[in-house]
Chain A
Amino acid sequence: MSRRAFEYLGLGLLGIVVFLWTMAPLYNMMIMSITPVNAIFAGKLWPENPTLGNYATVFRQDNHYLKFFWVQLGNSVFIAAASMVIVLAIATLASFAVGRLKLRYGPLVNNLALTTYLIPAAFLAIPFYQVMGAYKLLDTQWGLIFAVVTFTTPYAIWVLRNYADSVPFELDEAAMVDGASRWQIFRLVYVPLIRPAMIAVGTFALLHAWNEYLYAFLILSHETRVTLTVTLGLFRSDDSAPWPLLMAVGIIYSVPPTVLYFSVRKYMVTGLTSGGVKD
């Protein structure tokens, strides 16, 4: 065998290992979601009587854990969309101020924002809860939206600002000579040029809100107001929960972020890597 073929074989093996490592848990999720509810503990590689009935049960809300499936899915959509819009609005405005205006306090704002970005969200859960109580935002969807905004905006500002550095300043100056105000420059020059990065951070905020569990559990209470992640958590901790249904919900819940991610993947890579990174 030639050296080249040998290398290619090695790459192929590595590819197989990577594929199995990535897919095993997802495969397990999938087969559990098509296993009949009473046969869940067989530990088989393929269930004996696979069924799509679990999905039908979920869609028909035919189980008392899932009485509000559609409402809660709607809540997830609303909270994710609202978070995205607000993060984008605040971060775009702020990134313009920090990156485009010559401010004496610019670096300070930048560093403060970065500091928030560096505090693990789980570490602030305890005081954050109390503060939400003081603002009367507990058990409101706005409470959760602001939590997401708090933890994603600093990152969004940072990414947008770094991306904007690749946009030439000359355009601003030319507009200024033409008598444009700062607001006009923002609207007509800045926003159109940083749009790819806006798509990236918007998606990021959306995914973050969609997947948030700890804050959603703490802030939201009523069944009709919680997101679907909270219901997934309820399955986790309850006696005799129908686990195949949990997995069916989990698969359904994974589809939108996955589709979204793949459809904007191009922007994600440019946007996030020009700005850096997020775990």
Chain B
Amino acid sequence: MTAPAAAPRAPWLSSDAAWGLFFLFPYIVVFVLFVAYPIGYAVWLATDLKAYQRLFDDPIYWRTAWNTLVFLLIGVNLKMILALFLSGFFALPYLWVRILGAIFLLPWAVPHIPSIISIRWMLNSEWGMVNTLLFDLFRIDGPNWLTNPSYGLSAIIAVHIWKYLPFWTMILVAGRMAIPKDLYDAAAVDGATKWQRFRHVTFPQLKALFLTSTMLTTIWSLGDFNSVYLLTGGGPADRTNTLATMGIRYAFRQADFEAGIVTMVSAIPILIPLVILLTRRLSKAGGRQA
């Protein structure tokens, strides 16, 4: 075997490049077959201008777009602020906090269908556990958790937070653990209060991770089909759909694929800038190559 320095270079392909193709080959195959082709196909379907007309004529579409915005703005921010707050709690060195931390992660590990349907049944206004307790204790008919559209959307956000808050809390706990201890020691010497320590040490150190995480979860929340579909099914009267469930509904219930694709495509003004920003951030964070 020859040492690399002495290896004769192929005229059109360096040996690194040839090896690179070898190592990348399986992924390239997957990418072309299952990513490039479907996306190309989607773009082709999305050129049907009449589908945009059908969409914009449908009063439910605008409601859905609004819901999606509310879901992202409130759901994502609430989730990330709670995660930031709770990461401080779960970083505490007590044993019981660590045990609670392990329990806290359960919603993330449990499959969607049974857990979200369980919540759906708890919140059923007639025979759910919550309203039955309210009636037994106070003789009142509890709120219609899932069938008042505003409550329904709030319940969807709550389910989303229940399911995904643990994961982001874990990420931020790991981020806090990585902050050098001497920064806190220095702050303690200066006599900083708790708030000042958070404001001047913790948050600046976590900021990059927090921002990246927020952007990532914004994108993924856009595609959160299960929290909506399994909880309210988009109802009542299609008032709690988001773009993800609406697109699927157009395509697989109304047999209008073009409208389905176009529904998804209409999220692109939010999606593309986020994707570009994030790709930059993530590949920079990824080290040498970029």
Contact = CB atoms under 8 A, between A and B. Distances in A.
Contacts of A186: 23
B264 A123 contact: yes
Interface in A100-116: 101-107, 109-116
Contacts of A19: 100, 103
B19 A101 contact: yes
Nearest to B135: A43
Contacts, number: 295
12 contacts: A26-B107, A26-B115, A41-B127, A103-B16, A107-B289, A118-B219, A119-B223, A123-B247, A165-B288, A179-B2, A273-B170, A279-B221
A269 B174 contact: yes
Contact of A147 (B34, B97, B288): B34
A11 B85 CA distance: 12
B12 to A, nearest CB: 13
Given A11-B89, A44-B132, A261 B105 contact: yes
A168 interface: no
B270 to A, nearest CB: 11
Given A43-B127, A165-B287, A25 B223 contact: no
Interface size class of A (residues with CB under 8 A): 35 or more
Given A45-B129, A94-B26, A101-B17, 18 more contacts: A26-B106, A28-B121, A94-B27, A103-B17, A120-B222, A123-B223, A123-B264, A127-B261, A146-B30, A147-B34, A149-B34, A162-B287, A165-B288, A214-B226, A236-B230, A250-B113, A250-B118, A265-B102
A265 B166 CA distance: 13
A200 interface: no
Interface stretch (B36-44, B143-151, B180-188, B196-204): B36-44
A149 B30 contact: yes
A254 B111 contact: yes
B47 interface: no
Interface string B94-124: 0011001011111101111111011101100
Nearest to A211: B111
B31 interface: yes
Contacts of A236: 113, 117, 230
B289 A257 contact: no
Interface in B45-81: 45
Contacts of A153: 27, 30
B278 interface: yes
Given A25-B119, A121-B223, A162-B285, A43 B131 contact: yes
B39 A113 contact: no
A181 B115 contact: no
Nearest to A164: B287
B206 interface: no
Contacts of B248: 122, 125-126, 214
